[in-house]
């Protein structure tokens, strides 16, 4: 057999399932191939070594089997898979989506934002021990008693609604937003009038800890059709461990909030039994009883149908800031395997607005550690869930998964949804590499801080890096475009094994300590290296393949009824950007995807 020229090996991730089957995930094409054991063993040497060198290296395998495996790999490559890997530059975002006109990106951001979130206050009546904005950790957001002024809120709402033609969403955030109930009423009244003048619809949303949901407030929220998300930690034991009321008079006395929150939730259901816009944001810790939390959520699922699960989990030390805590480890599919923020203990909080001295901090609470017992308990519940998934017989049975295993369903989405949806979105073809950010800064939402500074979302409200403008002057589209290009040029997506599965969140980046408003490129590369962990990616792919082996149709059943979500337009932008020679749509035509 003629030996080929030695080149770079195709980017692949190899893994075996519990059944012993061998697989190779081809990064460039997005294909998953089931391969025999010989191909599995020699795949890393394909194109790196000559054919004779591969035979020599793998002496324990019959030469005939090796050369047959090489022929099969050659055939796969002839079908546009396992491409020779040649380093490529990522393409600019506007290369296809905006007809190569960078000025169209600012216009797109101005006209297609869906949600404006107002930070009403920093104040909160709870003292959750794991809160990244609480007293246990130095955080990037400077805490104060500040609340947003009505004038600032009006300016932000005015600019936002002036760009809308049909409908828009306004969210309220804190702290605890219901501490500013009078301000909420004024903002809602103002937004209603402005929307009516423009013949458009405006929707409202709020995330609350649920402790202040009086009858008056419930009636107001229902009247204005608010989407209300209540923050909980699951059952009483899990919730009251950390979600405690502030008690300045006696800090050692910890009073849990579970009974108050669930009583208010029950009252909401009593007053409005069929209200559709309710949900639960669940925060899990290492000490959470996942089975108990699932049972608790199942009890409320009918009345609070939307469930979003997050983790509080430790970040590994990187030698720069001492111990770290990752708050809001996103398990809903938005951020993939990453963390939505970096909050350091110590005197050098990364991304801090100012290098002012911080008070001495007590040791991190117990929730940062996953013990063998907690890991085993979590794993046991997870295995029971996956067994249930694989045993489903038809699409109608998937309702039992959504209703009875909401948390595990969220975890499943985080691990396999992106892998499976790559097929549904038609991305199973060779693509030019593009940045795989989980969002385009400022494109779908903006966040107005209590100071009136605009950011892409609440997770990016630190430093000057992601400041996109201010309430008085609205979003600076040129700044948003600059940020997207800065992130693209610092991410080596073309040469990354996670390029098609990555959901890198901009909030995972940090600001340069030496240059305010500029990206710390080295920190971003370290983040990318963590997200591109081959063992982590192989674990996700293994879970996906094991489900497909056991029940090839079940994921189609689970995801076939999904409606378009906030990030759908980004998937289309990725597709368009990935094929600039085939697709060349001006930005206006992207509206159909939004």
Q: Which of 294-308, 427-441, 444-458, 515-529 has the lowest mean pLDDT?
A: 427-441
The answer on pLDDT for 379 being more than 50 is: yes
Please give the CATH superfamily to which domain 125-308+320-383 belongs: Aldolase class I (3.20.20.70)
For 274-293, the pLDDT digits (tens) are 999 999 998 887 777 888 88
Using a pLDDT cut of 90, give the percent of the chain over it: 36
The answer on pLDDT for 567 being more than 90 is: no
Q: Which of 52-66, 481-495, 544-558 has the lowest mean pLDDT?
A: 481-495
The answer on pLDDT for 100 being more than 90 is: no
Report the alpha-carbon distance of residue 504 to residue 488 in Å, rounded: 11
The answer on pLDDT for 41 being more than 70 is: yes
Sole residue written with tokens 């962990």: 533
The answer on pLDDT for 579 being more than 60 is: no
Helix, strand, or coil (residue 516): coil
Distance of alpha carbon 9 from the chain centroid: 31
Report the alpha-carbon distance of residue 548 to residue 545 in Å, rounded: 5
With beta carbons less than 8 A apart as the criterion, state whether 360 and 554 touch.
no
Report the alpha-carbon distance of residue 59 to residue 50 in Å, rounded: 15
Higher pLDDT, 533 or 371: 533
Higher pLDDT, 347 or 429: 429
With beta carbons less than 8 A apart as the criterion, state whether 327 and 312 touch.
yes
With beta carbons less than 8 A apart as the criterion, state whether 260 and 125 touch.
no
The answer on pLDDT for 572 being more than 60 is: no
pLDDT of residue 401: 87
For 358-368, the pLDDT digits (tens) are 233 333 344 44
What global pTM score does this model have? 0.78
The answer on pLDDT for 591 being more than 50 is: no
Helix, strand, or coil (residue 256): strand
Report the alpha-carbon distance of residue 219 to residue 275 in Å, rounded: 11
The answer on pLDDT for 310 being more than 50 is: yes
For 176-191, the pLDDT digits (tens) are 999 999 999 999 999 9
Give the DSSP letter of residue 396. Answer: G
In DSSP notation, 316-341 reads: PP-SSSSSEEEEEEE-SSSSTTS-S-
If you average pLDDT over residues 438-448, what whole number do you get?
Answer: 80
pLDDT of residue 576: 30
Report the alpha-carbon distance of residue 575 to residue 590 in Å, rounded: 12
| 136: confidence class by pLDDT, cuts 50, 70, 90 | low
| 102: confidence class by pLDDT, cuts 50, 70, 90 | low
pLDDT of residue 4: 59
Cis amide linkage into residue 579, ω under 30° from 0? no
Angle at which helices 150-162 and 181-197 cross, to 10°? 30
User: Domain map of the chain by residue range?
Assistant: 12-78, 125-308+320-383
The answer on pLDDT for 72 being more than 60 is: yes
pLDDT of residue 587: 30
The answer on pLDDT for 121 being more than 60 is: yes
pLDDT of residue 3: 58
Higher pLDDT, 346 or 469: 469
pLDDT of residue 346: 28
CA-closest candidate to residue 573, choices 559, 558, 590, 553: 590
**Residue 131, Cβ neighbours under 10 Å: how many?**
20
If you average pLDDT over residues 352-356, what whole number do you get?
Answer: 31
Report the alpha-carbon distance of residue 126 to residue 243 in Å, rounded: 7
Q: Looking at 234-301, which runs of residues are DSSP E strands? A: 278-284
Bridge-partner residues for 118, per DSSP? Answer: 172, 448
The answer on pLDDT for 258 being more than 70 is: yes
CA 278-279-284 angle, 5° bins: 160
Using a pLDDT cut of 70, give the percent of the chain over it: 73
With beta carbons less than 8 A apart as the criterion, state whether 200 and 165 touch.
yes
Q: Looking at 291-433, which runs of residues are DSSP E strands? A: 306-315, 324-330, 343-344
* Buried-state track 88-117, b at ≥16 Cβ within 10 A, e below 16: eebbbbbbbbbeeebebbbebbbebbbbbb
If you average pLDDT over residues 214-230, what whole number do you get?
Answer: 96
pLDDT of residue 50: 92
Higher pLDDT, 547 or 5: 547
In DSSP notation, 82-148 reads: S------PPPPTHHHHTTT-TTHHHHHHHHH--EEEEE-BS--SB--TT-TTSSSS--SSPP-S-B-
Higher pLDDT, 397 or 328: 397
**Burial category of 30 from C-beta neighbours within 10 Å (exposed 0-12, middle 13-18, buried 19 and up):** buried
* Region label for 491, one of left (φ > 0), alpha (ψ between -120 and 50) or beta (otherwise): beta
Report the alpha-carbon distance of residue 509 to residue 338 in Å, rounded: 11
Kindly report the average pLDDT of the chain as a whole number: 76
Q: Which residues contact 258 (CB under 8 A, 6 or more apart)?
A: 232, 236, 239, 240, 243
The answer on pLDDT for 547 being more than 70 is: yes
* Buried-state track 522-554, b at ≥16 Cβ within 10 A, e below 16: ebbeebbebbbeeeebbebbbbbbbbbebbeeb
Report the alpha-carbon distance of residue 214 to residue 268 in Å, rounded: 9
Residue 557 tokens, joined: 């059943």
The answer on pLDDT for 330 being more than 70 is: no
Kind of pairing between the strands at 227-232 and 278-284:
parallel
CA R_g for the chain: 25
If you average pLDDT over residues 198-206, what whole number do you get?
Answer: 92
Higher pLDDT, 130 or 267: 267
Q: Which of 4-13, 149-158, 359-368, 546-555 has the lowest mean pLDDT?
A: 359-368
If you average pLDDT over residues 128-152, what whole number do you get?
Answer: 70
Residues belonging to the chain = 594
With beta carbons less than 8 A apart as the criterion, state whether 294 and 307 touch.
no
Residue 269 tokens, joined: 């259901």
Residue 534 tokens, joined: 């081959």
* Buried-state track 411-436, b at ≥16 Cβ within 10 A, e below 16: bbbbbbbbbbbbeeeebeeebbbbbb
Residue 504 tokens, joined: 């890198």
Higher pLDDT, 396 or 64: 64
CA-closest candidate to residue 326, choices 338, 312, 347, 345: 312
How distant, in Å, are the alpha carbons of 74, 130, 286 from that of 69? Answer: 9, 52, 45
């Amino acid at each position: 057999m003629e030996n080929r020229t030695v080149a770079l090996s195709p980017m692949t991730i190899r893994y075996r399932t519990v059944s012993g089957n061998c697989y190779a995930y081809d990064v460039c094409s997005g294909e998953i191939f089931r391969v025999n054991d010989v191909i599995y063993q020699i795949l890393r040497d394909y194109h790196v070594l000559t054919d004779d060198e591969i035979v020599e290296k793998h002496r324990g395998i019959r030469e005939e089997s090796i050369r047959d495996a090489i022929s099969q790999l050659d055939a796969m490559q002839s079908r546009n898979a396992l491409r020779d890997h040649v380093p490529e530059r990522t393409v600019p975002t506007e290369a296809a989506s905006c007809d190569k006109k960078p000025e169209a990106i600012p216009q797109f951001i101005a006209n297609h934002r869906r949600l404006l979130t107002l930070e009403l206050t920093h104040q909160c009546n709870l003292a959750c021990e794991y809160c990244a904005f609480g007293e246990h950790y130095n955080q990037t957001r400077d805490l104060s008693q500040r609340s947003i002024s009505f004038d600032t809120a009006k300016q932000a709402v005015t600019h936002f609604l002036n760009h809308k033609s049909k409908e828009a969403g306004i969210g309220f955030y804190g702290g605890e937003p219901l501490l500013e109930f009078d301000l909420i009423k004024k903002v809602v009244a103002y937004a209603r009038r402005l929307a009516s003048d423009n013949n458009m619809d405006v929707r409202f949303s709020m995330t609350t800890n649920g402790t202040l949901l009086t009858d008056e407030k419930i009636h107001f929220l229902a009247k204005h059709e608010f989407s209300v998300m209540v923050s909980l930690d699951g059952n009483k034991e899990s919730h009251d461990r950390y979600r405690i009321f502030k008690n300045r008079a006696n800090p050692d006395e910890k009073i849990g909030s579970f009974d108050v929150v669930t009583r208010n939730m029950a009252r909401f259901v009593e007053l409005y039994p069929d209200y559709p816009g309710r949900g639960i944001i669940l925060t899990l810790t290492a000490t959470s009883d996942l089975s108990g939390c699932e049972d608790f959520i199942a009890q409320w699922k009918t009345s609070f149908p939307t469930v979003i699960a997050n983790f509080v989990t430790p970040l590994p030390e990187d030698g720069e800031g001492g111990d770290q805590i990752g708050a809001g480890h996103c398990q809903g599919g938005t951020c993939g395997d990453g963390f939505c923020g970096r909050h350091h203990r110590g005197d050098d909080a990364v991304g801090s607005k100012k290098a002012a001295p911080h008070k001495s901090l007590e040791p991190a609470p117990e929730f940062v550690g996953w013990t063998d017992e907690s890991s085993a308990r979590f794993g046991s519940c997870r295995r029971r869930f996956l067994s249930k998934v694989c045993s489903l017989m038809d699409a109608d049975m998937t309702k039992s998964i959504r209703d009875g295993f909401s948390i595990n369903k969220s975890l499943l989405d985080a691990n396999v949804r992106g892998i499976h949806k790559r097929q549904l979105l038609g991305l199973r073809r060779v693509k030019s590499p593009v940045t795989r950010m989980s969002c385009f800064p400022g494109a779908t939402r903006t966040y107005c801080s209590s100071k009136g500074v605009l950011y892409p979302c609440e997770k990016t409200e630190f430093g000057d890096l992601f400041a996109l403008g201010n309430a008085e002057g609205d979003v600076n589209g040129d700044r948003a475009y600059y940020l997207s290009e800065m992130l693209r040029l610092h991410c080596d997506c073309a040469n990354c094994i996670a390029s098609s599965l990555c959901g890198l969140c901009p909030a995972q980046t940090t600001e340069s300590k030496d240059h305010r408003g500029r990206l710390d490129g080295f920190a971003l590369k370290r983040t990318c290296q963590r997200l591109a962990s081959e063992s982590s990616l192989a674990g996700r792919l293994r879970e996906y393949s094991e489900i497909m082996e056991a029940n090839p149709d079940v994921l189609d059943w689970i995801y076939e009824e999904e409606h378009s979500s906030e990030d759908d337009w980004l998937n289309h932008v990725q597709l368009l950007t990935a094929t600039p020679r085939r697709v060349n749509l001006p930005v206006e035509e992207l509206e159909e995807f939004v």
